[in-house]
């Protein structure tokens, strides 16, 4: 049985790790490379690096920051932010990323997902889906959560899988930074309809929240501020997972 993964997320703006609430009120949380190295030593299974202002600013991810981060890691690194062309996949993979995440570009140009999967393999393609509840379910947002689309999140995840995405990074904007728990209803709705791994993101506050998200069908759980500000350790999360009977990689 595959182990369930615990993944710290580095939301990066201006070359620094930042964290806010519901994608707003960002505050500094340190250096990406140093944070990634510390997380690896603490037992993280992977690290996600998201340049959260790249799409909104119309630029690609800062490659020097990615290289510096990758050079200090011996666990998988996923990088996203401003990915809009197949060349961006090449650049990020050459800079040391193991996987590349895209959100805005997938919505604007779905063919890029298929092209990237054909060129580099589905295992390299992580489709990030930022979503907020509305009257019809969950609406997809782009540009770092700033622009609403007409897409419904569950159907969009199914389409992304069909296009070739090997993994879905699913973020509840309603829960992001609240520490009230993941949106397990959303997780179940998506994992019931896709057969690629789903990373649950948005809302972690206590170890049992991670357990609940994994029991709802997620293959991995992601958090940022809890880990960044030392309010919870990866070890505490993994201990709770083990007690719940979930398969976990020992630290």
Domain for residue 209, yes or no? yes
Domain enclosing residue 73, as ranges: 5-243
Q: What is the pLDDT of residue 74?
A: 93
Domain for residue 47, yes or no? yes
Domain for residue 15, yes or no? yes
CATH number, domain containing residue 89: 3.20.20.70
Domain for residue 137, yes or no? yes
Domain for residue 173, yes or no? yes
Which structure tokens are listed for 64?
């020097």
Question: Is 0.75 topped by the overall pTM?
Answer: yes
Q: How far is CA 19 from the centre of its chain?
A: 14
First CA to last CA distance, the chain: 18
Q: How many structural domains does the chain have? A: 1
Domain for residue 251, yes or no? no
Q: What is the pLDDT of residue 136?
A: 83
| Burial degree of 85 (CB within 10 A; 0-12, 13-18, 19+) | middle
Question: Do residues 70 and 111 touch, judged by C-beta distance below 8 A?
Answer: no
- pLDDT tens per residue across span 180-220: 999 999 999 999 999 999 999 999 999 999 999 999 999 99
Phi, psi for 142 (deg, rounded to 5): -125, -175
- pLDDT tens per residue across span 73-87: 999 999 998 899 999
| Low-confidence residues of the chain: pLDDT under 70 | 15, 18-30, 53-61
Q: What is the pLDDT of residue 25?
A: 46
Q: What is the pLDDT of residue 220?
A: 98
Q: What is the pLDDT of residue 64?
A: 86
Q: What is the pLDDT of residue 116?
A: 98
Domain for residue 75, yes or no? yes
Q: What is the pLDDT of residue 146?
A: 87
Q: What is the pLDDT of residue 60?
A: 62
Q: What is the pLDDT of residue 41?
A: 95
Active centre residues (catalytic):
11, 130
Domain for residue 249, yes or no? no
């Amino acid at each position: 049985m595959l182990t369930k993964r615990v993944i710290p997320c580095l939301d990066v703006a201006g070359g620094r790790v930042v964290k806010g609430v519901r994608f707003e009120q960002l505050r500094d949380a340190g250096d990406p490379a140093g944070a990634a190295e510390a997380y690896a030593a603490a037992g993280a299974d992977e690290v996600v690096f998201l340049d959260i202002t790249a799409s909104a600013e119309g630029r690609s991810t800062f490659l020097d920051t990615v290289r510096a981060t990758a050079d200090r890691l011996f666990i998988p690194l996923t990088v996203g932010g401003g990915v809009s062309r197949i060349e961006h996949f090449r650049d990020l993979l050459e800079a040391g990323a193991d996987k590349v995440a895209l959100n805005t570009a997938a919505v604007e140009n779905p063919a890029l997902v298929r092209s990237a999967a054909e060129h580099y393999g589905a295992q390299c393609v992580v489709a990030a889906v930022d979503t907020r509840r509305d009257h019809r379910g969950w609406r997809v947002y782009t540009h770092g959560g700033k622009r609403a689309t007409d897409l419904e999140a569950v159907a969009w995840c199914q389409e992304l899988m069909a296009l070739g995405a090997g993994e879905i990074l699913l973020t509840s904007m309603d829960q992001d930074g609240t520490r009230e728990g993941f949106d397990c209803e959303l997780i179940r709705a998506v994992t019931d309809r896709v057969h690629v791994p789903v990373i649950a993101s948005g809302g972690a506050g206590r170890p049992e929240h991670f357990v609940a998200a994994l029991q709802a069908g997620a293959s991995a759980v992601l958090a940022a501020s809890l880990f960044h500000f030392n309010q919870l350790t990866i070890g505490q999360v993994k201990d709770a997972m083990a007690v719940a009977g979930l398969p976990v990689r020992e630290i």
